[in-house]
Amino acid sequence: MTGQLPIPVLVNGAAGKMGREVVKAIAQTTDLTLIGAVDRSPEYQGLDIGELAGCGELEVPVTDQFEPMLAMLAQEKELGVMVDFTHPDSVYSNIRSAIAYGIRPVVGTTGLSAKQLQELAEFADKASTGCLVIPNFSIGMVLLQQAAIQASQHFEHVEIIELHHNQKADAPSGTALQTAQMLAEFGKTFNPPTVQETEKLPGARGSVADAEIRIHSIRLPGLIAHQEVIFGAPGQVYTLRHDTSDRACYMPGVLLAIRKVIQLKTLVYGLEKLL
C-alpha cells in the first residue's frame, strides 16, 4: 500500500472468465479497491460486477466506457492500476491509453507481438510508468519454465504442446511462445533435422517458434489451460507438464503484480521477474 489508502484498480474485461476471478480476488483484499469494471459485452452493461462475479454487491456497475474510466482513475489520490484481461485485438491500444493517463497496466491478455511489446516498452519508458505484461500468472508455470530452461542445456530436441478451452482466441498460447523464447535465450537451436520431412497435411508438425522449437495447439471444450514441454534424446523422453484446474490459480500472481507495478517505472515482462 502507498500511504494509508488502498490501491485503486480498474478491471478491463471484468465480465469475462478471468475478469470475474480478478474482481473476486480484489474484493477479498483490504489494500486494493475496485473502482471500475469495464467490459464491452452489451448483456452486462449496468449490472453490478460483484453480483456477476458471485462475491456480492460491490456497487461497481459494468460499463463499456474505458477512456472515461481511465480519466476517473487518474483523478484518484493514489496511483491507479488497470488490469487487462480482454482480447488480443484490443490489448495494445488499451495499454497505450492507460499509460497515456498515467495509469499502471497489469496485463494478462495474450497475443502481443514482439514488435508491439518493444513499442510499449519504449512508451512506458518515456512516460516513466510501470507496466507488467505477464503471459501466465500461475506459479506452477514459472516452475515448469525454470525446469525447462535447465533441461534445455542437456537436450537437443524439444517440442511444446499447449492445450486450452475452445473459447481461446489466439494460438499458440502466449505462455507457449514465452516458453520457447526462454529456451532460445541461451543461443542454442533445437531439433536438428534427422530426415527429409513431408507434411501430408499442412500444419501437421505444428508451428516453428524461436530456436526451431515446434509448438502444437489443441483446443477442446473441457480443457482450461495445460502445457507440456517434451524433451527427447536417444533412449529417453523427459516431459514437463502443468495443468490448470481452476482460474483461481492465477490470482496470487495477479495480486502480486498489482502491488508491484506501482513501484515500477518501466515495462516488465514475465511473472518470474517479480518472484
Ligand X SMILES: O=C(O)C1=N[C@H](C(=O)O)C[C@H](O)C1
Residue of this chain nearest to ligand NDP (CB atom): 16
Q: List the one residue from 7, 8, 11, 12 that touches ligand NDP (CB under 6 A).
A: 12
Q: List the one residue from 10, 15, 182, 267 that touches ligand NDP (CB under 6 A).
A: 15
Residue 12 or 129 having the CB closest to ligand NDP: 12
- Residue 253's CB: how many other CB atoms inside 10 A? 22
Secondary structure (DSSP) of the chain: --TTSPEEEEEETTTSHHHHHHHHHHHT-SSEEEEEEE---GGGTTSBHHHHHTS---S-BEES-HHHHHHHHHTSSSPPEEEE-S-TTTHHHHHHHHHHTTPEEEE------HHHHHHHHHHHHHHT--EEE-S---HHHHHHHHHHHHHHTT-SEEEEEEEE-TT--SSS-HHHHHHHHHHHTTS-------S----SSTTTT-EE-GGG-EEEEEE-TT--EEEEEEEEETTEEEEEEEEES-GGGGHHHHHHHHHHHTT-SSEEE-GGGG-
The catalytically annotated residue of 24, 164, 216, 242 is 164
137 binds ligand NDP (CB under 6 A): yes
Q: List the one residue from 26, 32, 110, 180 that touches ligand NDP (CB under 6 A).
A: 110
State how far the alpha carbon of 77 is from the alpha carbons of 9, 71, 72, in Å: 12, 13, 11
13 binds ligand X (CB under 6 A): no
Let me know if 154 is a catalytic residue: no
Size of the site for ligand X (CB under 6 A): 9
226 binds ligand NDP (CB under 6 A): no
Let me know if 168 is a catalytic residue: yes
CA 70 – CA 101 distance, rounded (Å): 7
Residue 23 or 38 having the CB closest to ligand NDP: 38
Stretch that binds ligand NDP, among 70-78, 131-139, 155-163, 182-190 (CB under 6 A): 131-139
Stretch that binds ligand X, among 123-131, 149-157, 170-178, 208-216 (CB under 6 A): 170-178
Instruction: Tell me the closest approach of the beta carbon of residue 268 to ligand NDP, in angstroms.
Output: 14
CA 67 – CA 49 distance, rounded (Å): 18
Q: List the one residue from 8, 13, 50, 135 that touches ligand X (CB under 6 A).
A: 135
The catalytically annotated residue of 87, 157, 168, 226 is 168
140 binds ligand NDP (CB under 6 A): no
CA 46 – CA 44 distance, rounded (Å): 6
130 binds ligand NDP (CB under 6 A): no
Instruction: Tell me the closest approach of the beta carbon of residue 12 to ligand X, in angstroms.
Output: 16
110 binds ligand X (CB under 6 A): yes
Q: List the one residue from 225, 240, 251, 257 that touches ligand X (CB under 6 A).
A: 225
Instruction: Tell me the closest approach of the beta carbon of residue 73 to ligand X, in angstroms.
Output: 25
Q: Find all residues with CB under 8 Å of 189, minimum gap 6, and list them.
A: 211, 212
Contact footprint for ligand NDP (CB under 6 A): 12-13, 15-19, 38-41, 85-88, 90, 108-111, 134-137, 168, 250
| Residues forming the site for ligand X (CB under 6 A) | 110, 135-136, 164, 168, 173-175, 225
